[in-house]
Amino acid sequence: MRSFIKFADSLSTSMGKAFSWCIVILMGGTVYEVIMAYVFNAPTLWNFDFSMQMYGAILMMSGAYTLATEAHVRGDVIYRLFTQKTQAKIDFVLYFIFFFPGVIALAFYGFEYAKLAWKIKETSWSSPAQIQIYMVKAMIPCAGTLLTIQGISELFRCIICIRTGQWPARMVVAEETEKILMRAAQDGDQKDVI
């Protein structure tokens, strides 16, 4: 189980970091559009659609990374009061009830959706430039597959925590702002004492 967790975390983290570079590409496209529109008075037809596709790529392909780093929004007012073993039991059940039906449907039906888009070489009906969107639609089943792999990893984490009473360590951890601020305040207090 631990080797699968390591594999899934590595895959999700590398995909998330790779697609984070889309932000740089997106920024470049936005700067180009602003210069063309306001300096040369020649706005492009394609940049709005390009931006939408970049945002879509970032959104779809960052889901597994966000899950791997525990960065999803979670209403854990009561949850955090439970022992880690109880948290793992709750997570284990909720992954089967809410998570897996959605991501498996995303992967399965997303494949059919992307396959049809590739077959007809789908273009955007709302775009004046009629840009091709079938390549971006291929990210839907990819995102569903990555989320499914990371979800299995999370189930394995739950099983390990139920057995040991401790959550297995993560490769990358997204910390809550309040924890970072508390630690900074404590470090500041310790420096005052010294």
As a whole number, the mean pLDDT across the chain is 89
CA 142 to chain centre: 12
Predicted local confidence at residue 86, as pLDDT: 96
Per-residue pLDDT tens digits for 61-115: 999 999 999 888 777 788 889 999 999 999 999 999 999 999 999 999 999 999 9
Question: Which of 78, 56, 85, 55 shows the shortest CA–CA distance to 161?
Answer: 85
Dist CA 14 CA 128 (whole Å): 35
pLDDT at 129 over 80: no
DSSP codes joined into one string, 87-104: HHHHHHHHIIIIIHHHHH
CA 174/CA 34 separation, integer angstroms:
34
Q: 132: which DSSP letter?
A: B
> Smallest Cα–Cα separation from 141: which of 119, 101, 110?
110
Range of the structural domain that residue 50 is part of: 2-175
Q: Does residue 54 lie in a domain region?
A: yes
> pLDDT per residue over 158-171, tens digit each?
999 999 999 998 88
What are the Cα distances from residue 176, in Å, to 66, 69, 74, 88?
13, 11, 11, 19
How many domains is the chain built from?
A: 1
Q: State the pTM of this model.
A: 0.83
pLDDT for 165 equals 94
* 132: phi then psi, degrees, rounded to nearest 5: -80, 135
Assess whether pLDDT exceeds 60 at residue 193. Answer: no
pLDDT confidence of residue 192? 54
The pLDDT tens digits for 36-53 are 999 999 998 888 888 888
Give the separation between CA 185 and CA 173, rounded to whole angstroms. Answer: 20
- Does residue 14 belong to any structural domain of this protein? yes
Provide the pLDDT for residue 181: 79
Residue 184 forms part of a structural domain: no
pLDDT at 49: 85
CA–CA distance from 102 to each of 54, 130, 145 (Å)?
23, 31, 11
Say how far apart CA 149 and CA 99 lie, in whole Å.
12
What pLDDT score was predicted for residue 190? 60
124: pLDDT strictly greater than 90: no
- Note whether residue 180 is domain-resident: no
Q: Does 189 fall in a domain? A: no
For position 175, what pLDDT does the model report? Answer: 63
Taking alpha carbons only, the member of 92, 89, 87 closest to residue 76 is 87
Whether 171 maps to a domain, the answer reads yes
Question: Is residue 135 a part of any domain in this protein?
Answer: yes
Rounded to 10°, the helix 84-94/139-164 angle is 150
The answer to the question of residue 181 being in a domain is: no
